[in-house]
């Protein structure tokens, strides 16, 4: 028979044991919360103070030839860091490349407008009439009727060269690859790109997702490998590479603390959106080389172009920087043809396929009018026009007459092309600089999670023995 006192002792021991169990659980929960908080702070608050000189080149996973291009990753990284990025960073600050003409207020042609983003960083600061160069207001001197075509070109082939007579004045003529009416100056406004940098704006959610869903599913689907012809593959990779670049710039210039207006790098966002998907990084390099090829192919034209803004000193500087970019001996020796456009549009279906892809890219261009954030719309329009200009330079075959035209560009197309190349160059540089740090942090987070799981298992095993 169990005595009453013994029952009380057992009850007290049981209470004490469960009290110890709950205490142990509470300690583990607190420790886990503190560890998670430390990891989160390391990720979300990491900024430009990390060691920029350590690029951890030996641990980089991207080596060999960039797929469908004519240069390898190591060469691209070296040229970009040593030659291209410094030149481009300086070029885009000149008056000629600083002011972009854009139609910011326009109706979405595909679905009802969701209204403008209400965040402070979504808005765009437009130029006053007296701010941008007076010469930009003057219409082009050459109309589309003045363009002379070259006869005798094989059907649907792409010429690697351009007419050496090159620049004959800026024109007002629509780009066949984009949807905006570039001649409608009444609805266009000039924007100072230096005052409206591409960065985080808070534009997320269903509206932003709908844009990218429409781009990929309706205009740029990722076909099964067996159905993915070269030309459609190029279009997909161009859009994917541009998407990666945009995500990288959002992560690199991120609003970490809105109340204190603190900006910096969000390494976790960069990893989540780009780095954990190697094909997105590869497509970024592909898009960079594609646009670089367009610029080098149009070298004669761009060398002779007029970069007049009414500031002779700055205009001479712009022309000098452009020549350094176009004829850099290191670039010409290491990567003379970044992308070979002549391999595309072969066979009888070439012209039809080109028209189909051109229509798809025009739809993508039109979708930029549906972007609900004004600053995102600005940079979306600029970069899509830059990509459309690269397509125009590389694939300037007329789909109906099967002839190549003399290259003629709008001033705005060259501005967009130069700024796009700089954005892509900066993204490649950021991947090299931020990538190793982001991946180390994410690996640490995985290990921390494994340690927490292991700790819980050990505690639970110990508690089970006390029962």
Phi-psi sector, 205: left (phi>0), alpha (psi -120 to 50), beta: left
Of 97-111, 254-268, 389-403, minimum mean pLDDT range: 389-403
Residues 349-368, mean pLDDT to the nearest whole number? 88
Residues 378-383, mean pLDDT to the nearest whole number? 94
Neighbours of 15 (CB within 10 A): 10
- Please check if 118 is assigned to a binding site: no
**pLDDT range class, residue 176, cuts 50, 70, 90:** confident
Identify the pLDDT of residue 228.
62
The more confidently predicted of residues 330 and 25 is 330
**pLDDT range class, residue 129, cuts 50, 70, 90:** low
- Please check if 263 is assigned to a binding site: no
Which residue among 69, 71, 117, 376 is the active-site one? 376
CA nearest 415: which of 320, 306, 300?
306
Identify the pLDDT of residue 426.
98
- Please check if 449 is assigned to a binding site: no
CA nearest 68: which of 276, 292, 220, 233?
233
Structure tokens belonging to residue 238: 């161009």
Which residue among 71, 117, 335, 373 is the active-site one? 373
Using alpha carbons only, what angle is made at residue 145 by residues 133 and 323, rounded to the nearest 5 degrees?
A: 45
CA nearest 271: which of 285, 251, 286?
251
Identify the pLDDT of residue 462.
59
For the chain, first and last CA: distance in Å?
24
Structure tokens belonging to residue 325: 């970019």
Task: Convert the pLDDT of each residue in 201-218 to its tens digit.
Answer: 888 878 888 899 999 987
- Please check if 243 is assigned to a binding site: yes
**pLDDT range class, residue 451, cuts 50, 70, 90:** low
Give dist(CA 436, CA 388) in Å, integer. Answer: 33
Query: What sign for the dihedral angle of Cα 459, 460, 465, 467?
Result: positive
Tell me the pLDDT of the chain averaged across its residues.
76
The more confidently predicted of residues 56 and 224 is 224
DSSP for residue 101 = E
Length of the chain: 467
199-231: string of b/e by CB count within 10 Å (b at 16+)? bbbbbeeebbebbeebbbeebbeeeeeeeeeeb
Structure tokens belonging to residue 450: 């494994």
Question: Angle, nearest 10°, between helix axes 411-466 and 278-297?
Answer: 170
Of 18-22, 242-246, 280-284, 314-318, minimum mean pLDDT range: 18-22
Task: Convert the pLDDT of each residue in 61-119 to its tens digit.
Answer: 788 999 989 899 999 999 999 999 999 999 999 999 998 988 887 778 777 655 444 44
Task: Convert the pLDDT of each residue in 280-320 to its tens digit.
Answer: 999 999 999 999 999 999 999 999 999 998 899 999 999 99
Residue that the structure tokens 């012209």 belong to: 351
Question: Angle, nearest 10°, between helix axes 230-252 and 350-367?
Answer: 20
DSSP for residue 69 = S
Any alpha helices (H) in 138-185, and if so which ranges?
none
The more confidently predicted of residues 129 and 149 is 129
- Please check if 293 is assigned to a binding site: no
Give dist(CA 417, CA 413) in Å, integer. Answer: 6
Question: Angle, nearest 10°, between helix axes 230-252 and 374-394?
Answer: 140
Query: 255 forms bridges with which residues in the sheet?
Result: 263
Question: Angle, nearest 10°, between helix axes 411-466 and 230-252?
Answer: 70
Give dist(CA 16, CA 399) in Å, integer. Answer: 85
* pLDDT value at 222 more than 80: no
CA nearest 201: which of 380, 45, 422, 37?
380
Structure tokens belonging to residue 440: 């180390």
* pLDDT value at 380 more than 90: yes
The more confidently predicted of residues 142 and 342 is 342
* pLDDT value at 395 more than 70: yes
Identify the pLDDT of residue 174.
80
Q: Provide the 3-class DSSP secondary structure of residue 128.
A: coil
Check if 376 is active-site. yes
- Please check if 423 is assigned to a binding site: no
The more confidently predicted of residues 446 and 428 is 428
**pLDDT range class, residue 18, cuts 50, 70, 90:** low
Residue that the structure tokens 């534009």 belong to: 203
Structure tokens belonging to residue 382: 């600029």
Identify the pLDDT of residue 429.
96
CB 331 within 8 A of CB 84: yes
Domain ranges of the chain: 73-134+164-451
**pLDDT range class, residue 241, cuts 50, 70, 90:** very high
Identify the pLDDT of residue 239.
95
Give dist(CA 182, CA 167) in Å, integer. Answer: 19
């Amino acid at each position: 028979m169990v005595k009453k006192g013994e029952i009380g002792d057992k009850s007290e021991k049981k209470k004490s044991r469960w009290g110890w169990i709950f205490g142990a659980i509470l300690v583990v929960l607190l420790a886990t919360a503190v560890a998670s908080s430390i990891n989160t702070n390391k990720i979300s608050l990491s900024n430009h103070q990390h060691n920029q000189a350590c690029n951890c080149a030996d641990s980089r996973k991207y080596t060999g030839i960039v797929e469908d291009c004519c240069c390898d990753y190591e060469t691209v990284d070296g040229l970009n860091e040593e030659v291209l990025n410094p030149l481009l960073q300086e070029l885009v600050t000149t008056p000629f490349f600083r002011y972009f003409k854009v139609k910011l207020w326009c109706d979405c042609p595909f679905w009802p407008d969701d209204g403008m983003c209400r965040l402070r960083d979504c808005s765009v600061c437009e130029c006053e009439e007296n701010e941008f160069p007076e010469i930009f207001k003057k219409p082009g001197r050459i109309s589309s009727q003045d363009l002379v075509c070259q006869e005798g070109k094989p059907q649907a082939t792409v010429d690697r060269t351009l007419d050496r007579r090159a620049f004959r004045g800026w024109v007002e003529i629509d780009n066949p690859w984009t949807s905006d009416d570039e001649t409608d100056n009444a609805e266009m406004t000039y924007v100072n790109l230096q005052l409206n940098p591409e960065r985080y704006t808070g534009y997320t959610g269903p509206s932003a997702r709908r844009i990218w869903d429409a781009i990929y599913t309706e205009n740029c689907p990722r076909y099964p490998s067996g159905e993915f012809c070269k030309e459609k593959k190029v279009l997909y990779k161009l859009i994917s590479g541009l998407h990666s670049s945009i995500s990288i710039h959002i992560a690199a210039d991120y609003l970490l603390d809105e109340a204190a207006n603190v900006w910096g790098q969000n390494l976790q966002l960069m990893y989540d959106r780009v780095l954990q998907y190697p094909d997105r990084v590869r497509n970024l390099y592909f898009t960079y080389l594609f646009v670089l090829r367009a610029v080098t192919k149009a070298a004669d034209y761009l060398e002779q172009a007029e970069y007049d803004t009414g500031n002779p000193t700055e205009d001479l500087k712009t022309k000098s920087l452009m020549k350094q970019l176009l004829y850099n001996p290191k670039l010409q020796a290491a990567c003379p043809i970044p992308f070979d456009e002549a391999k595309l549009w072969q066979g009888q279906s070439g012209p039809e396929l080109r028209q189909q892809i051109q229509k798809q890219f025009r739809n993508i261009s039109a979708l930029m009018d549906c972007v609900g954030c004004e600053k995102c719309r600005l940079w979306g329009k600029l970069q899509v026009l830059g990509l459309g200009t690269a397509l125009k330079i590389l694939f300037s075959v007329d789909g109906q007459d099967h002839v190549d035209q003399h290259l003629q560009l709008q001033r705005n197309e060259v501005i967009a092309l130069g700024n796009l190349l700089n954005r892509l160059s900066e993204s490649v540089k950021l991947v090299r600089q931020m990538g190793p740090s982001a991946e180390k942090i994410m690996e640490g987070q995985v290990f921390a999670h494994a340690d927490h799981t292991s700790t819980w298992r050990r505690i639970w095993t110990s508690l089970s023995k006390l029962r």
